[in-house]
Amino acid sequence: MDQRPTPLRLTGYALAQVALAVPTVLAVVLVAVGGGTALLVVGIPVLLVGLPLLRWIADRHRAMASATLGHPVPAERLADEDLPILRRLGTWGRDPMTWRELAWGLVSASLGLALALVVVVLALGVVTLVLWYYATPQLMRLRSVADARLLSRGSHELLEERVQVLTETRAETVEDSAAALRRIERDLHDGAQARLVALQMNLGLARSLMDTDPTAARELLAEASTTTGAALGDIRDVVRGIHPPVLADRGLAGAVQALALDLAVPVSVSGDLAERPPAPVETAAYFAVLECLANVTKHSCAEHAWVELDRRDDLLVVVVGDDGRGGADPGGGTGLRGVARRLAALDGSVRVSSPAGGPTLVTLEVPCESSSPRTTPSSATG
Ligand SMILES: Nc1ncnc2c1ncn2[C@@H]1O[C@H](COP(=O)(O)OP(=O)(O)O)[C@@H](O)[C@H]1O
Ligand SMILES: [Mg+2]
């Protein structure tokens, strides 16, 4: 699948690594000295030189390790953009990646340097060229594996982060289901239950009037029939709010098409899901689309809206777009935040792009195998 670099290119990496060994030592020393004297203020400018240098060198090695191994070696640092310089320094100090990079610097400038030197020396001798050709990929692989290990977050850190995410989403899910139950209870109480009570009274009255005033009794019975219809309608609405029958019957694409037909704004639905996503994913995606389309009619002043459904491997991707005035902001209401919460429980995410003047694009992504942990950070908004 990937193209492995040639021995010549690997030797180029080895040369670069040898050349970067001295700056690495320099950066480690600067960071150590700066860190030791930061409280005396003099250390701060030293840190401001040392840390970016160390990060830059580490990033070069990440790139080389990634090219050698054929998979990405991301720098998973804490976000520090838009921070004033001193706060940024604080963030760097708290970032476990800084400490990893320091430890890596020590290993890189000793054992790593030795490996890279062996490759370079082998390449220089005519007699050793054969050895160079065969040994270089192994040696550079060894070094790259070590670099990648030291410069990426360990499984312990990834697990910790995953536990944190799961704890948060679980609390939100519990809260959401409690709220949903309360809503269903209220809807049943105020709707169907109230109508059934009226129905019971009407029927009782009709029975007592049956002999004395049959006309009034007949009127009451007609009223009772209307009330029964309304109560059934209420119950249907409640059921639709839990799990719409159209979703069960026709799947996500069909249910979204049915939704689109009911709206004031024309909505085109494209994409077909060959395979139906698991039921919880389908339901969450359906209610997310429902909220987005409700937003289109409520807030966007759009003339046209569209829904694109797509399944990319194990990811359900739904884009809801409109050509309205833009300015959608998950912080500005409760709807989009609720969608983000509901999808987060399934490891999904919501991205909103809505510049002033439009168009608004809301991208919903939900993994279809909900048990598969997603360890890459998702860009959930809201
Ligand atoms: N499609 C859209 N076009 C323009 N503005 C939108 C759109 N969707 C949402 N917004 C804006 O973003 C805010 C947040 O949306 P939402 O979280 O759904 O809250 P609300 O409960 O007000 O619908 C809305 O109040 C609205 O101002
Ligand atoms: Mg809304």
pLDDT tens-digit map of 152-168: 887 888 888 889 989 99
Question: In terms of domains, do 226 and 292 share one?
Answer: no
Residue 378: the pLDDT is 41
Tell how far the Cα of 76 is from the centroid of ligand 2, in angstroms: 34
pLDDT tens-digit map of 76-111: 888 877 778 888 888 888 888 999 999 999 999 999
Closest listed ligand to the CA of 334: 1
The whole-angstrom separation of Cα 170 and Cα 178 is: 12
Residue 233: the pLDDT is 93
What single-letter DSSP state applies at residue 330? G
The whole-angstrom separation of Cα 237 and Cα 234 is: 5
Does a structural domain hold residue 379?
Answer: no
192: domain CATH number?
Answer: 1.20.5
Does a structural domain hold residue 280?
Answer: yes
Contact 354, 326 (CB under 8 A): yes
> Is the pLDDT score of 364 beyond 60?
yes
Mutate to test the pocket of ligand 1, among 295, 306, 337 (most ligand atoms within 8 A of CB): 295
Does a structural domain hold residue 158?
Answer: no
Other Cβ atoms closer than 10 A to 40? 8
Question: In terms of domains, do 25 and 144 share one?
Answer: yes
**Residue minimizing CA distance to atom 9 of ligand 1:** 328
**Residue minimizing CA distance to atom 15 of ligand 1:** 333
Q: Which atom of ligand 1 is nearest to the CA of 331?
A: 14
Split at pLDDT 50, 70, 90, the class of 372 is: very low
Q: Which atom of ligand 1 is nearest to the CA of 382?
A: 17
**Residue minimizing CA distance to atom 3 of ligand 1:** 300
pLDDT tens-digit map of 257-281: 999 998 989 999 998 888 899 999 9
Question: In terms of domains, do 31 and 127 share one?
Answer: yes
Of 198, 216, 242, which closes a domain? 242
Question: In terms of domains, do 118 and 215 share one?
Answer: no
Q: What is the mean pLDDT of residues 186-205?
A: 93
Does a structural domain hold residue 306?
Answer: yes
Question: In terms of domains, do 145 and 173 share one?
Answer: no
Split at pLDDT 50, 70, 90, the class of 379 is: very low
pLDDT tens-digit map of 206-256: 999 999 999 999 999 999 999 999 999 999 989 888 888 889 899 999 999
- For the chain, the straight-line distance linking the first and the last C-alpha, in angstroms and rounded, comes to 37
Question: In terms of domains, do 285 and 330 share one?
Answer: yes
Does a structural domain hold residue 159?
Answer: no
Residue 39: the pLDDT is 83
Does a structural domain hold residue 338?
Answer: yes
Domain that holds residue 227: 167-242
Q: Which atom of ligand 1 is nearest to the CA of 300?
A: 3
Tell how far the Cα of 169 is from the centroid of ligand 1, in angstroms: 23
Residue 377: the pLDDT is 42
Tell how far the Cα of 213 is from the centroid of ligand 1, in angstroms: 56
Question: In terms of domains, do 25 and 143 share one?
Answer: yes
**Residue minimizing CA distance to atom 1 of ligand 1:** 296
Tell how far the Cα of 229 is from the centroid of ligand 2, in angstroms: 30
Q: What angle do CA 157, 25, 82 make, to 5 degrees?
A: 55
Question: In terms of domains, do 66 and 121 share one?
Answer: yes
**Residues in the ligand 1 pocket, defined by CB under 6 Å:** 295-296, 298-300, 322, 324-330, 332-337, 360
Q: Which atom of ligand 1 is nearest to the CA of 362?
A: 1
pLDDT tens-digit map of 31-77: 999 988 888 888 889 999 999 999 999 999 999 999 999 988 888 88
Tell how far the Cα of 286 is from the centroid of ligand 1, in angstroms: 18
Cβ neighbourhood burial of 125 (10 Å; 0-12, 13-18, 19+): exposed
260-277 b/e (C-beta count within 10 Å ≥ 16 → b): beeeebebebeeebeeeb
> Is the pLDDT score of 127 beyond 90?
no
Q: Per DSSP, what are the bridge partners of residue 367?
A: 315
Residue 155: the pLDDT is 80
Mean per-residue pLDDT of the chain: 89
Q: Is the pTM of this model over 0.85?
A: no
pLDDT tens-digit map of 293-303: 999 999 999 99
**Residue minimizing CA distance to atom 19 of ligand 1:** 333
Question: In terms of domains, do 223 and 94 share one?
Answer: no
Of 153, 185, 200, which closes a domain? 153
Tell me which amino acid residue 235 is. Answer: I
Tell how far the Cα of 179 is from the centroid of ligand 1, in angstroms: 21
Tell how far the Cα of 239 is from the centroid of ligand 1, in angstroms: 26
Does a structural domain hold residue 68?
Answer: yes
HSE-up of residue 92 (Cα within 13 Å, Cβ side): 23
Residue 143: the pLDDT is 92
State the DSSP H helix or E strand holding residue 266, giving kind and residue range, or none if neither.
none
Does a structural domain hold residue 298?
Answer: yes
The whole-angstrom separation of Cα 228 and Cα 206 is: 15
**Residue minimizing CA distance to atom 4 of ligand 1:** 300
Of 227, 242, 257, which closes a domain? 242
**Residue minimizing CA distance to atom 12 of ligand 1:** 328
Residue 376: the pLDDT is 43
> Is the pLDDT score of 380 beyond 70?
no
pLDDT tens-digit map of 303-333: 999 999 999 888 999 999 999 999 999 998 8
Domain count, the chain: 3
Residue 302: the pLDDT is 92
Closest listed ligand to the CA of 290: 2
What single-letter DSSP state applies at residue 336? H
Question: What are the DSSP E strand ranges found in 31-187?
Answer: none
357: domain CATH number?
Answer: 3.30.565.10
Residue 374: the pLDDT is 45
Question: In terms of domains, do 49 and 91 share one?
Answer: yes
Question: In terms of domains, do 46 and 183 share one?
Answer: no
Question: In terms of domains, do 94 and 48 share one?
Answer: yes
Residue 292: the pLDDT is 96
